[in-house]
Structure 1
Amino acid sequence: MLSALASAIKDRDLRKKIFFTLGIIILYRIGAQIPSPGVDYPKLRGLLDTAMTGDNAQLYSLVNLFSGGALLQLSVFAIGIMPYITASIIVQLLTVVIPYFEQLKKEGQSGQAKMTQYTRYLTIALAVLQSAGIVALADRGQLLGNGESVLMDGDILTLATIVIVMTAGAALVMWFGELITDRGVGNGMSLLIFAGIASRIPAEGVNIYQNSSTMKFAAVMFAVILIVVAVVFVEQGQRRIPVQYAKRMVGRRQYGGTSTYLPLKVNQAGVIPVIFASSMMYVPILITQLIQGPEPAADGFWQRYVMQYLQNPSSWGYILLYFALIIFFAYFYVAIQFDPMEQAENMKKYGGFIPGIRPGRPTAEYLGYVLNRILLFGSLYLGLIAVLPNVFLDMGSGGGDMQNMPFGGTAVLIMVSVGLDTVKQIEAQLMQRNYEGFLK
């Protein structure tokens, strides 16, 4: 791997892409530390330190997971990349519901460009809504649950300024991700999430070491290593369905007659179900905080349920709902991304067939059957990895140690998956230049 990395650095074009990607990530992390105008930052830091050691520390750690700590600091990049991810998923869902978007998907590059433009517009709209909600919570003193406003002034001009700055920050983060995808090593949006999570690992590791015994620290590190090994093992697993292409003569040349395979990954959905389920788990909490007054009203069933279960990641209500959402989004996302009938028609068009399976609908039914069996294991794997730290919290194992979300299952899953995808993309570019790749 070191020799492959040296080869990547020696290649001029690839070296530029790597350094360009690192530069964008550095700019992203700098913006995540710059406070928005109108925020009483010293007061916010004091309240945040108190909240991170209180009863809702696990919840705040989960909120900060995808923003690298920027959200609760109300920085310029507080909203981060989540509006773009949500907008992308919504646009993909619309391809199933609205025929116009389905037609755009089939138009190739031109249609994809239009869908990307719609995704950008929707990202800005979602960023405005999300930043307005966060600023309203900060003004009413409900962002950290202590009843104290963290803004210097509560007039409408200050609130509007903060909303505009956060929305512009979300647009800039979206642009950063697209730049990494187009001009860097690729996988831009995922790399920004990776950078946000990785930035918190050193501080959280020191916190675990200082607040626990050496044995507990070693146990946490050993558990993290086991999770990493399990994630790498499953992420690399795939079901290879053999595909043969019939021989055909075009003029005097013979085409086809080759054998290949159709790879179906065990985790066909990737980390998207975990990311989207995590976002959905925070929506009821945000709605409850917006509709209740300065004093928490626990009279209604909704408020009582949210406060008792959804605000406590270690409760069994939270664990079961989170697990169910991950499985649901895994099936839903794969159903959108992989159409067995479309795949069967493409194979039939180019003379391909699965040995022992007739082309057309029988091939589609066979692919759907195999995919559902693989997806059952893949979705259960995603759910178990994601809720494992929450189960430890409920059982009392690790206590405050396991609440450090960068070492939790969700964070490790995202980091390992993104790391593997990035290495594969760099390896593909190395192979194009006749270098030996990372994975031997």
Structure 2
Amino acid sequence: MATSADQMAASLSLNNFAQATELKKRIWFTLGALVVFRLLSHVPLPGIDPVALQAQFETTKGGVLDFFNMFSGGALQRMSLIALGVMPYITSSIVVQLATSLSPALGALKKEGESGRKKLNQYTRYGTVVLTIIQGYFIAVGLESWGASSGHSAVVEPGLLFRVAAVTALLGGTMFLMWLGEQITSRGIGNGISLIVMAGIVSQLPRALVNVFEGGRTGTMSPLLIFGILILVVGLIAFICFMERAQRRVLIQYPKRATARGMMQSDKSFLPLKINTANVIPPIFASSLLLMPLTLVQFAGNRVAGESTWGDIVLAITTNLQHGSPLFMALYAAGIIFFCFFYTAVVFNPEETADNLKRYGGFIPGIRPGKNTEIYLDYVLTRITVIGAAYLTFICLVPEYLVTALGIPFYLGGTSLLIVVNVTIDTVTQIQSHLLAHQYGDLIKKSKLKGGLRR
């Protein structure tokens, strides 16, 4: 019965899509903004030698540069104006979000409503500017020294002028992307920042697919292996969709109230607790922390190559923290689990939720309002977070294991796969909401028209 109702709603949505002019305008605006983003990723920074840059970039594969290059859609590898992408904005927003839970002043600001939200957004923008300037300066300095010892510097004319120009260009590119993402959110469809990140990841897929099918054509990869990769990707996507929509629904009961007919009726609702409350934050944090020392030693490798002590340290770090090594896999899993529990504790406050339920007269059947409700919610949240942490660890470690242990060229990592699926689900949900609102709008207009004709 529910299936037939869903199919009827889907058919009505498809029929109304051609008439939903507002939705079509939003979709076209979103697509146009993403095209602008992809065009900007090919505009290089001033004073960069692209041939030397590409040669040096090949020597740091496996480091944090590859990780951030994936999110920027290859813009970091080309050192374009948007080489930093929206990562400074994402980092700043996460820091502000964490600060609102740790600082009483910012926490009170969050409760002020729309005015407080605007102030927090302004703090996020200020943090984005500061992070972009710091990261841009270190990128400029790193580019000047990158490959200088071998005589293949990526910078044509190193110096203060290049640093100022590079920082200014990177700051302008990041702030433009931040503005573009906000425009997509307000005038387009979906979350603008998330769509920009997803567009950067998806832009790398055609090249990966070409490499896979080229391997099948040349005989380096068997057709059975290619078919297995496709089945694995489909299976992981289906599993992610299931887990991201999974939730624990806690029954909330409200006191009986008198209705218009004089009958007493009690209201019921559900408090949905997502299995994966932390979303994709734990893999991003864990990957960044693990890959940072590897990238630093790769940058410093040429300078310490002749020193036996430092050379041994560099070799040990490079060997033990490579993708797929046992130490990397263990630390990666531990980091994901830690950040899962930490971020969940930050974004969901059982004490605040219990107080809100008590204030509005709601209670969980069999649980006393107040402290007992807080303990029960914390108990339930801890149990489902264990499942969420295990799910994230599995999704992120399976591609790593396949690439290293079995030699399967699985190009789409667990973190990027999570981002793509999550953003797609969110965007499709918003499109369905717009179609449903348009459908109800048409029904209201028709009912008013019939009422006018009867009069």
DSSP 3-state at the match of 2:71: coil
Specify which of 115, 118, 122 is matched with residue 117 of structure 1.
Answer: 122
Going by fraction, where is helix more abundant, 1 or 2?
A: 2
Distance 1:146 1:192, change over 3 A: farther
Quote how far apart the aligned CAs of 1:93 are: 1.6
Query: 2: CA distance between counterparts of 1:397 and 1:342?
Result: 49
Corresponding residue number in structure 1 for 2:450: none
Q: Does 1:237 align with 2:229?
A: no
Which residue among 298, 314, 317 is the counterpart of 1:303?
Answer: 314
- Correspondence for 1:378 among 383, 388, 412: 388
Matches within 5 A, 1:71-82: 71-82=76-87
Equivalent of 1:334, from 344, 350, 375? 344
The yes-or-no answer on 1:203 pairing with 2:207 is yes
Q: Match for residue 67 of structure 2? A: 62
> Distance in 2 between the 1:20 and 1:146 partners?
47
- TM-score w.r.t. the length of structure 1 is 0.89
CA, structure 1 residues 60+183, in 2 after alignment: closer, same or farther (shift >3 Å)?
A: same
Q: Counterpart of 2:270 in 1: which secondary structure?
A: strand
Question: In the alignment, which residue of structure 1 is the partner of 2:26?
Answer: 17
Tell me, in whole angstroms, the C-alpha distance in 2 between the residues paired with 1:5 and 1:197. Answer: 28
- Check whether the contact 2:181–2:193 (CA below 8 A) recurs between aligned residues: yes
Does the C-alpha gap of structure 1 residues 75 and 264 become closer, same or farther in structure 2, counting only changes over 3 Å? same
Question: What is residue 234 of structure 2 aligned with on the other side?
Answer: 225
Is structure 2 residue 266 aligned with structure 1 residue 257? yes
Match of 2:44 in 1: 35
CA deviation after TM superposition for structure 1 residue 214, in Å = 2.3
**Corresponding residue number in structure 1 for 2:361:** 351
Distance 1:87 1:60 in 2: 19
How many Å apart are 1:176 and its aligned residue?
1.4
Whether contact under 8 Å (1:86, 1:276) holds in the other structure is no
The question of whether the paired residues in 2 share the 8 Å contact of 1:7 and 1:435 is answered with: no
CA displacement at 1:112 relative to structure 2: 1.1
Aligned residues between the structures:
425
Q: Is the 8 A contact 1:244 1:355 kept in 2?
A: yes
Task: State the alpha-carbon separation in 2 of the partners of residues 250 and 3 from structure 1.
Answer: 34
Q: How far is 1:66 from its partner?
A: 1.0
Which residue of the partner structure matches residue 185 of structure 1?
A: 189
Once structures 1 and 2 are overlaid, which stretch shifts more, 289-298 or 25-34?
289-298
Which residue number in structure 1 is paired with residue 448 of structure 2? none
Residue 314 of structure 2 aligns with an amino acid whose one-letter code is Q
Matches of 1:176 and 1:256, distance apart in 2: 49
Distance 1:215 1:252, change over 3 A: closer
Q: In 2, distance between residues paired with 1:276 and 1:183?
A: 30
| Coordinate RMSD, CA, aligned | 2.7
CA distance in 1, matches of 2:392, 2:324: 18
Aligned-pair CA distance for 1:215: 2.4
Question: What is the Cα deviation at residue 9 of structure 1?
Answer: 4.9
CA distance, structure 1, for counterparts of residue 189 and residue 67 of structure 2 = 28
Shift of residue 345, structure 1, vs aligned partner: 1.1
Shift in Å, 1:298: 6.8
Which amino acid letter does the alignment assign opposite residue 329 of structure 1? F
CA contact (8 A) 1:18 1:184 kept: yes
| Structure 2: distance between partners of 1:147 and 1:235 | 50
Aligned counterparts of 1:115 and 1:288: Cα–Cα separation in 2 = 36
C-alpha distance in 1 between matches for 2:89 and 2:304:
33
1:161 deviates by: 0.5
In structure 1, list runs of 5 or more residues that go unmatched: none
- Whichever residue aligns with residue 29 of structure 1, its letter is R
Please state whether the residue corresponding to 1:124 is helix, strand or coil: helix
2: CA distance, partners of 1:58 / 1:206: 24
SS class of match (1:261): strand
Q: 1:298 to 1:28 in 2, by over 3 A?
A: farther
* 3-state SS, counterpart of residue 247 of structure 1: strand
Corresponding residue to 1:387 among 360, 374, 397 = 397
Post-superposition offset of 1:197: 0.5
